[in-house]
């Protein structure tokens, strides 16, 4: 599903060179619920941005769904991203003038699907994330947790095989953050969607079925856990 080989990425600002990733190897299989953790500056966002085809590596190979995305140009990456990947951000990134429904439907509009299919799929996913009845509100009339539910619906409505989430609970209180993780886990089970999310919050790490710890641009540990050990049982 995702194959990462000897991936490197540097940032240059003035005279300074920051080696954000220094040779990362990683295989992520279909249907995983995986967290990338590590201290601030360890390279989590950089790795997520590369896997999400938002940025390109300096060297190494990166395959997403058997496509060697390290070889694609900007336009090809944008197309791949729009069709195949779902994204969830810590600041939700909803369009403020559109309702919840319209924010979700937009993801399908961009794929050029017929109106009736867009309507049905949007309603179905909003129902799954528990937002039917609130779909006509604009984001400012929704709580942070509800906005993140809209964002989860938007990511999933395209039925991508992979959803990437950069610190999805960072702006939520811990109870709401847990609710969001449970929803993501539920979606992972129901749809078989692979979830890769970054965090530096120990509570969030507990939910992961597999935990990758990054340190200084390298993988420090890679731990798979039986589901019974994850926080879901509490």
Ligand X SMILES: Nc1ncnc2c1ncn2[C@@H]1O[C@H](COP(=O)(O)OP(=O)(O)OP(=O)(O)O)[C@@H](O)[C@H]1O
Least Cβ distance, residue 95 to ligand X (angstroms): 24
- Would you say 156 or 212 has its CB closer to ligand X? 212
Binder of ligand X out of 46, 90, 193, 230 (CB under 6 A) = 46
Contact window for ligand X (CB under 6 A) among 40-48, 70-78, 130-138, 151-159: 40-48
Q: By the 8 A CB rule, do 1 and 162 touch?
A: yes
- Identify residues 8-27 at the interface with ligand X (CB under 6 A): 11, 13, 18, 20
Does residue 57 touch ligand X according to CB under 6 A? no
Binder of ligand X out of 2, 26, 32, 42 (CB under 6 A) = 42
* Contacts of residue 124, Cβ cutoff 8 Å, sequence gap at least 6: none
Least Cβ distance, residue 15 to ligand X (angstroms): 12
Residue whose structure tokens are 């953790």? 37
Least Cβ distance, residue 61 to ligand X (angstroms): 19
- Identify residues 164-223 at the interface with ligand X (CB under 6 A): 200
* Strand (E) or helix (H) holding 88: strand 85-89
* Contacts of residue 12, Cβ cutoff 8 Å, sequence gap at least 6: 18
- Would you say 46 or 146 has its CB closer to ligand X? 46
CA distance from start to end of the chain: 30
Structure tokens at 142: 């929704």
Least Cβ distance, residue 29 to ligand X (angstroms): 23
Least Cβ distance, residue 19 to ligand X (angstroms): 8
Least Cβ distance, residue 136 to ligand X (angstroms): 34
**Bridge partners of residue 21, in order along the sequence:** 9
Give all strands of the β-sheet with 194-199 in edge-to-edge order.
85-89, 162-166, 194-199, 33-37, 210-215, 218-224
> Could you give the count of Cα atoms lying within 13 Å of 45 in the half-sphere of its Cβ?
10
The DSSP call for residue 177 is H
Size of the site for ligand X (CB under 6 A): 13
- Site residues (vs ligand X, CB under 6 A): 11, 13, 18, 20, 38, 40-46, 200
């Amino acid at each position: 599903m995702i194959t990462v080989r000897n991936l490197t990425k540097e940032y240059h600002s003035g005279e300074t060179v920051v080696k954000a990733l220094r040779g990362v190897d990683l295989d992520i299989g279909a249907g995983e619920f995986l967290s990338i953790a590590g201290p601030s500056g360890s390279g989590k966002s950089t790795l997520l941005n590369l896997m999400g085809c938002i940025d390109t590596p300096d060297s190494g190979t990166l395959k997403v769904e058997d496509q060697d995305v390290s070889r694609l140009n900007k336009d090809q990456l944008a197309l791949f991203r729009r069709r195949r990947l779902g994204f969830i951000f810590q600041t939700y990134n909803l369009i403020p003038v559109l309702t919840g429904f319209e924010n979700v439907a937009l993801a399908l509009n961009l794929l050029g699907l017929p109106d009736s299919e867009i309507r049905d799929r949007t309603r179905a996913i909003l129902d799954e994330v528990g937002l039917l009845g609130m779909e006509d509100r604009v984001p400012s009339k929704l709580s942070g947790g509800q906005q993140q539910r809209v964002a989860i619906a938007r990511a999933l409505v395209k039925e991508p095989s992979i959803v990437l989430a950069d610190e999805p609970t960072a702006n939520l209180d811990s109870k709401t953050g847990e609710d969001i993780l449970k929803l993501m886990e539920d979606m992972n089970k129901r749809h078989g969607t692979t979830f890769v999310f970054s965090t530096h919050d120990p509570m969030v790490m507990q939910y992961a079925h597999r935990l990758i710890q990054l340190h200084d641009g390298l993988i420090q540990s890679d731990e798979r856990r039986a589901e019974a050990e994850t926080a879901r049982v509490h």
